[in-house]
Chains A and B, each alone.
Chain A
Amino acid sequence: MLGLESYRLVADMNRLLALLFHQGVLDEQFLQLQQLQDESSPNFVSEVVNIYFNESEKLLRNLRALLMDREQWEYTKVGVHLNQLIGSSSSIGANRIRNVCVALRAASEQNNRLGCLRALDVLEHEYCYLKNKLHEFFHIEQQRVLAAGIRYPNPMQQHQHHP
């Protein structure tokens, strides 16, 4: 039934979030973000997360480019990028990504190329994982909103929710 569908979706979302919290992928900052979402900023979390993904992808690409350079490494640039990544990740609540960034920063400050490269790989992996999970989360969220809309049928709403 439609009603149950919504419950299931909520349950799925909660389970997914619980998993992510457990794994330390997200931390309570993400909860703060959720609390900020309300009628005045309805899609806040997904907007911010999208901005985050866009920015981080750029930063990651640049980091990869910087660190793949065979010759001179620009550690200060790496540091700058990392700082921004740390800042945005902590604003989102992406805990593990932030930790790996910190490790990467440490490695780069010690001029440890191998450590940097490995940390970068882990970073990219973590990023992909987070991205997939959050996409899943928002997907379920979308479905839930739709399902919730259908639950209280209303000629206007139904018309709006027409896929």
Chain B
Amino acid sequence: MSENNINENVAGDSILVPENPKFPEGLRVLAVDDDPVSLKTLEVMLEKCKYQVTSLTNATEALELLRKSRENQDIVLTDVRMPDMDGFELLKMVGLEMDIPVIMMSVDDSTENVMKGVKHGARDYLVKPVRILELKNIWQHVMRKTVLNPEKSSLMTPEIVMGDLPLKKRRGKDKEQEDANPLSDGASTKKQRFAWTKDLHKKFVDAVHQLDANKAVPKQIVELMNHPGLTREIVASHLQKYRNYLRRQQEEVEAHSYNAGQRGYEVFLNPTPPSYSDYKILPILREANNGNSGSGIMPFHEHLSKPDTLSNSGLNGAFVNGSLNQQVLWSHQNYNSPQMSNQVQAPKPISVLGNAPLAQSWVANPSGRMMIGDYVDMSQQTPNFGAVQSGPPRGFANYAGQSSHAGFSPGNKLPATEQASHPCPPGVFGRVGTPYQILEGASNQINQSLQHNALPGQHDGRVASNVFNGVYPVDFQATDQARANGQGAYMQLLTENMDNNHHNSLGSINDNLSIEGKQPRPPLSFANFAAGQSGKSSFSPSKLSPTEHASYYALLGKKMEESYRLLSMGELVSSGCREYPTDIQAMDVGIQSKWSGYVHANS
């Protein structure tokens, strides 16, 4: 934060430059990823780029951090799949509330996911493993925002902005904001970005609906809202965003031929996360400092809060009869699960306090599973109302969602959920009190120690047939001796799934895993040596000179390639397998001095 505030540019400077002279160094990046390995790698890479990194594994923590002080991060990098909150959710929340650029990351590079990211407002979508080169450029997204929206940029001081525009054209917004906000006296502080809190947004939505939303004009909205410091421009941009969301939601709804008559679990069977996540028209319905928000299974929480909000604000009538098409759809979507709405209204709107929504959200999402793209499983899960929920599930602890399972309560943000103080309307789904039937079995199994000896941690890893024969627990049905060794088994797996033209590919029949087709060939580091001398396949490596070694290695590389090719024709190169490891072993044994000489010469 400090870097951006240190220097003041001289007013009247007509170039928009960030005030940090060493930009993009010091860019404040927030990295969110539930996988600690990726997170750590990312962190170090970002530090290498000289950014200032904060890394978190928990998306809700990240939101908290951002909310606490809206200006404390410049850009957010988040993983798509996370246990407690869908990455797209986080994306939207951050985009709406804080207007910070968000970049998504994932192993999955499928078009639909990338499209989803774009639609939800991601500035970029990186495919894991993320390269440091890709990270070196992320500052452009922050800069772009600056260029397009100078008033909204966190990099600019008011002086730069105002220096750019002639006084009489200075937008009303700047003026009013400056007046309203005593801090932005233009001297040394950053421009205060207008904060759309949840209450404010709620007021906004109320105002919009009151105004017959098709004709809602920012000016009137401002008057209705009557909020200090709120200007027409701010409302206008917010309104635009809001309309975009509604439109998008409607498109997605239409795209999935959403039937207005759908009720109940059909909602959940509809595998369209956007239709849920687009409930987040009112995304900021929670208190910012709510310590319990951790277990926010965001989509459902907000989904349920909507009927709440509606009943609170008395807009129900207006809402259903709303003139916006989107509104009608929205209300249908909201009331699609009457059981759900029953339940929502029973516990009173403690949403302000943040407790009830959590429990409600556990209703909708009883297993506390991570919100993966499709909600198909929801209908199969036994909802569990008053029973103990153990807070934000993380990773594999999801299905051991009950806090009674020792060792599975993640330990953060638990208490409030367990006290979910609202009454539990019994029998709404007919199966109260029988939580996690399937899950219990699974989680019990997790607790069992590994009986299977499949992790023979002590084997020395040599890919030789005699080592693995006894170890392999599964009978591979193959009589071929070569198949029985580890290498063989692996190769067999390869052949089973092998496409003729994919060397080393475990491509599946199912085509939507776009990853497999793009498997890089194993990097044959010596493969670009001169084409090896053929016919030298069986000789004693120990007698080679260093240069011959190189070519020997190249030959091995070629053999590797060859064996892959043969594999693709469906033929197990058992002979190839046997030969290759043995050769390496021979190398191991015989040739240290020569080899080290060779390596030394070349390293």
Contacts and interface: CB of A to CB of B under 8 A. Distances in A.
Interface string A68-107: 1101101011011101101110111101100110110111
Interface of B: 34-38, 40-41, 44-45, 47-48, 79, 81, 83, 106-108, 128-132, 369-370, 372, 377, 395-396, 398-399, 438, 441-442, 445-446, 448, 450, 452, 454-457, 459-461, 463, 468, 472-474, 476, 486, 489-490, 493, 496-497, 504-510, 513, 515-516, 519-526, 553, 556-557, 560, 584, 587, 592, 595-596, 599-600, 603
Contacts of A28: 523
Given A72-B438, A76-B372, A128-B461, A61 B446 contact: yes
A146 interface: no
A97 B553 CA distance: 24
**Interface residue tally of chain A, by bracket?**
35 or more
A132 B522 contact: no
A118 B476 contact: yes
B442 A69 contact: yes
21 contacts: A15-B595, A15-B599, A18-B526, A23-B522, A24-B521, A55-B35, A64-B452, A65-B450, A66-B445, A77-B399, A80-B395, A86-B515, A90-B129, A91-B130, A102-B515, A106-B510, A118-B476, A121-B472, A125-B489, A125-B490, A129-B461
Contact of A59 (B396, B490, B505): B396
Given A51-B36, A106-B497, A122-B490, A14 B442 contact: no
Given A102-B506, A102-B516, A129-B486, A21 B442 contact: no
Interface in A35-53: 36, 40-41, 44, 47-48, 51-52
A110 B574 CA distance: 29
B442 A74 contact: yes
A129 B524 CA distance: 19
Given A80-B370, A106-B506, 6 more contacts: A10-B599, A64-B450, A106-B516, A129-B461, A129-B486, A132-B459
B38 to A, nearest CB: 4
A72 to B, nearest CB: 6
Contacts of A117: 474
A66 B396 CA distance: 11
Contacts of A77: 396, 398-399, 442
Contacts of A71: 441
Nearest to B33: A87
Contacts, number: 225
A89 to B, nearest CB: 8
Contact of A11 (B45, B476, B510, B595): B595
B596 A11 contact: yes
A121 B493 CA distance: 10
Contacts of B584: 19
A151 B536 CA distance: 40
B522 A48 contact: no
A126 interface: yes
Contacts of B497: 103, 106
A118 B45 contact: no
Contact of A87 (B128, B460, B463): B128
Given A27-B523, A40-B47, A91 B38 contact: yes
B454 A121 contact: yes
A72 B440 CA distance: 12
Nearest to A106: B508
Nearest to B108: A83
B446 A60 contact: no
Nearest to A74: B442
B522 to A, nearest CB: 3
Contacts of B45: 36
Contact of B399 (A74, A110, A127): A74
Contacts of A44: 44
A14 B523 contact: no
A120 to B, nearest CB: 8
Minimum-distance CB pairs A-B, first 8? A24-B522, A106-B508, A11-B596, A132-B461, A103-B506, A88-B37, A65-B445, A90-B129
A12 B44 CA distance: 27
Contact of B441 (A69, A76, A127): A69
